[in-house]
Amino acid sequence: MRVRLLNKIQNVIFIKANVPLRLVFITFATLLIVVIIGISSGQSSRSFIDNPNEETINAGEYFRAFPGKKSTASVVKIGLYLDSIYDLDLSKLNFKARGWIWYRWAKAPLIDGTLDPGQLGMFDLNFLDETDVNQVKSSEMPVWYKEPSGMGTFWNETSFDAKLSAPTINLRDYPFDRQQLRILVTNPVHTTKELIYQILQFRLPSSVFNISGYRLDGVSFSNDVRVFTSNFGDSSAVSWRDDSATSQSQATFNIFISRNPITSLFQIVLPIFIVNMLAVSTTRLPDSYWEVKIPAAPASTLSLIFLQNTFQQDLPQVSYITCMDLMFILSYLICFLCFADSLSNTLKSTTQSYSSLYGKLGAILLSISPLIVCGWLYLPFL
């Protein structure tokens, strides 16, 4: 009786062990889809309060709507000269900059009708940590001189060395990405009713550009107005169009950089291509070399995992797919097809050369992968 029971258990185990592999994959994919749908539906059922985003609008558009502010506020003309820009940290979305902000004015801005000379020359930039900022005015007494028009003007400059935030960094096209770094200059106390910045100059010599892995494409600037989503007084909804929102004049300095495509090809694309090529090439071996064919794809997969972990060490965790992620997804799929090709040919033992559909699909996918990557980079709807 006991022996008969053991035989039945072994028969059941044997039958379960021979469940088709296709059924395992279908079950896994189905459960994965159910889990994703469950998570998505749970997130969509949450309720939140209204949380509008800040607006940054062109100063010309703003002062066309409120011409009185431009006539009463103090106009401070400024320029930015960068002595160095360095230490771009993609993983923490910040960079460092050092330079001077020079500024001149004819009428000093007032705070509630009174003059506070200590505030003029101290700037708010997009600092990452305001406790770690070196900002020094060149002189406590500004220089006075007469312009050719006969108007008297004051001049001064402020040096700074600080770590700045770079929230606009987008790595969708990495490692062929182009980035826009910004230096945003506002005043810590004055609103648009009291002070307006007017940019005269922006200089960043290419010789002082020290961000490794990127090249300097160019610079630009714009006179903007930063509109807050609150009046800092009550809970009422605000808008810049009816002048209920608090706003500040903002000088925006843009730095456009891009990664050298040749460097990206040799440092990132070439190692991935070599691993894929090795996996695909083994599918052409006769089945008598099954000891080589079967382990090749798993070994290539392990190499890809190592490369992916290495390349992502200096990158932030993002919520979207990057171009590098796409290359690794294609690579994993190629390795899977190569493994399926080697395994199916070895189990059937009916062929002596490369002829399986899986291997052909892997070779085709490797061949068209550059087109897929180019489509990702240049087609906006992908």
For residue 249, the model assigns a pLDDT of 92
Task: Give tens-digit pLDDT for 202-238.
Answer: 999 999 999 988 999 999 999 999 998 887 877 778 8
Most confident range (mean pLDDT) of 3-17, 207-221, 348-362, 366-380 is 207-221
| φ and ψ of 236, to 5 deg | -70, 150
Of 166, 162, 181, nearest to 91 (Cα)? 166
Bond preceding residue 175 cis, omega within 30 of 0: yes
Residues 286 and 240 sit within 8 Å (Cβ to Cβ): no
pLDDT at position 351: 47
Predicted pLDDT of residue 368: 80
Residues 287-317: tens digit of each pLDDT: 777 777 888 889 999 999 999 999 998 888 8
- Mean pLDDT of the chain, nearest integer: 82
Average confidence (pLDDT) over 105-132: 75
Could you report the per-residue pLDDT of 178-206, keeping only the tens digit for each? 999 999 999 888 888 888 999 999 999 99
In the chain, % of residues over pLDDT 90: 34
Contact yes or no for 338/299 (Cβ under 8 A):
no
The pLDDT-based confidence of 114 (bands split at 50, 70, 90) is low
pLDDT at 12: 46
Q: Which is higher by pLDDT, 40 or 280?
A: 280
Find, among 340, 335, 376, the residue nearest to 357 by Cα: 340
pLDDT category of residue 7 using cuts at 50, 70 and 90: low
Q: Report which of residues 144 and 48 the model is more confident about.
A: 144
Q: Which residue has the higher pLDDT, 63 or 11?
A: 63
* Of 62 and 2, the one with more pLDDT: 62
- Under the banding of pLDDT at 50, 70 and 90, the label for residue 347 is low
From the list 365, 370, 345, the residue with the least C-alpha distance to 355 is 345
Using alpha carbons, list the distances in angstroms from residue 200 to 76, 229, 249, 258, 280: 10, 29, 15, 26, 59
Structure tokens at 282: 């083994």
Tell me: pLDDT of 11 over 60: no
Q: Residue 326 — pLDDT band, cuts 50, 70, 90?
A: very high
Long-range contacts of 109-115 (CB under 8 A, 24+ apart): 109/73, 109/74, 109/76, 109/187, 109/190, 109/194, 109/195, 110/74, 110/194, 111/189, 111/190, 111/194
